[in-house]
Structure 1
Amino acid sequence: MIDAASSRSDSRPAASFDLFGFLARYGTLIALLLLIVFNLFFTRNFATLQTLNVNLTQVCTIVIVATGMTLVIATGGIDLSVGSIMAIAGALAPLIFLSPVFGGNVALAVAVGMAAAILAATLCGLFNGWLVAQFRIQPIVATLILFIAGRGIAQAMTNSNLQVFRVPEFQWIGLGRPLGIPVQVIIMVALVIIAAWMLRRTRFGRSILATGGNERAAELAGIAVKRTKLAVYAISGFCAGIAGLVVIAINSASDANLVGLGMELDAIAAVAVGGTLLVGGRATILGTLLGALTIQLVRYTLLANGVPDAAALIVKAAIIAFAVWLQQQRRA
């Protein structure tokens, strides 16, 4: 005789395989691994240190900016101003360390220039957060202000002139190779580790996800939603400032017209492809890193195999569209 408990157990439907959940969780990693395998077999000179260095150099600034962007998006926001903030930081630093005010003390000039540039970028991010948190302006509108005005500020600071420099004490941030590892890679990895730990292991990280998941419920639970938003936009500005310094150090020049141009789109793309929900409430810093690496490797693969850059951009857009569609399917 079969008992009632056994009968109830047998009547339960078997758990179905969640394809969308699996793809959302592991799809980016699988795509990255497939790209690596493809290039190992079909792309000449792929498995070389030079190729690795080129790809890492190009992806580092995107990951640095996208790390801050991930935190902003996790709260349900967006930051369109990161490219312009990069331009501001990239314009301000050379103005200071090339100035004769420091009497030839290059180390002091560089230290002040870098600190001032990163502080200015952080304050720009804080301004965005202030508009969003205090006045409840939609993030896309609030950050559009500095998206437009920020580049104008950078151009006004330099009269739209190219600032060329040769200051090794500063350029190490983009050209240094301690133990053969590019400095910007070390910076990127450090920021990713810190942000991932903060998001997963700290009260502030839980506040970020709670704010993005349900802002009203977060407020009722005693979470300081306004301060959380101020903090994530300030962090986004801080990351953009560092990325701006890395870019001009690599180029040994600062061009306010070009530094950070289009970076906001690359950062958002990395976040979306990496699996962070664009509506907030859920985020993965490691996923953002994998998303940026995947997008970079897709473009490299296409260009290395003779596909025009215009086509590579179309493929990149298709990948982003697929990532957003996958998020919608998973939520449904």
Structure 2
Amino acid sequence: MQTVGHSEHTLKTALISKNPELVKQYEQLDPGEQRLLNEAFRPCSDLFGPITLHSPSDWIISHPETPQDFEQFFSNLHRKSPSPGKQTIYIQCIGQILTFLKKKKPEDAFCVVGVTMIDLYPRESWNFVFGQASLTEGVGIFSFARYGTDFYSSHYKGKLKKLERKSSSDYSVFNDYYLPEATSVLLLRSCKTLTHEIGHIFGLRHCQWLACLMQGSNHLEEADRRPLDLCPICLRKLQSAVGFRLRDRYKALVRWIDAESTDTPRVTPKHSREELVTLPKPVEAFKEWKEWVTRCLAVLQK
């Protein structure tokens, strides 16, 4: 295993910048927020650790990229930020989004994200992709098919019985497709993918500073190693783009985990789409992350 290490000075500069205006902006943050973000360059922090590489196929090794610090993010004229009239993130199942996007993206949409449990690949030469997005248009489509615990098993029920070529306007493949059990692991993996890709739409590039949700991943094992939250450098980027208090963000995340049931009816493998049922939200896999968020709140509220 290899560790991607950065000096305290490098991490501090990546987070705060040497630009006097950005330094001043940082110093105006709430003391608790500064205390939490400063964990980025505190030696032996128990909240944020270095990136670890486990094989040559890991993203950083196989896809060399220039790291993006806060100053580079902030000065990027092409990055997208919500505006008073465009601040809604729409998440649609893919059967709806294809028709939805053929009309037009809603005027108040910051971005529209489609999700499906069907495996995706963009062209014949590709094996699969977890998703694709147009960052300039604020649109993305993502598949969670490979996040189910049974996808790689011999009894996976979502396999095609026979290969059929359909026209690009034929969406019948999305009718009555297989839905695996909504486990907490599937939900955790799906949350990671969605928030990672929406982070890209906000202008965050792949993180190479610390263990972070915005790390790239080439395979499921690497994606599973990524934490569910952002490192301080990427967190400051998102805070700058969206505008929120860190304390409010983490409290909202804890509330979401604690709200173990949902009022939204859902389809299960044992029920048809006409028989929507209300199920408890599977959050067992989020337990460790909730404990981490609680520790962050303790730092913020000192």
Q: TM-score, length-normalised on structure 1? A: 0.27
Larger Rg: 1
Higher relative contact order, structure no. (Cα contacts within 8 Å, ≥ 6 residues apart): 1
Q: TM-score, length-normalised on structure 2? A: 0.29
Structure number with the higher strand fraction is 2
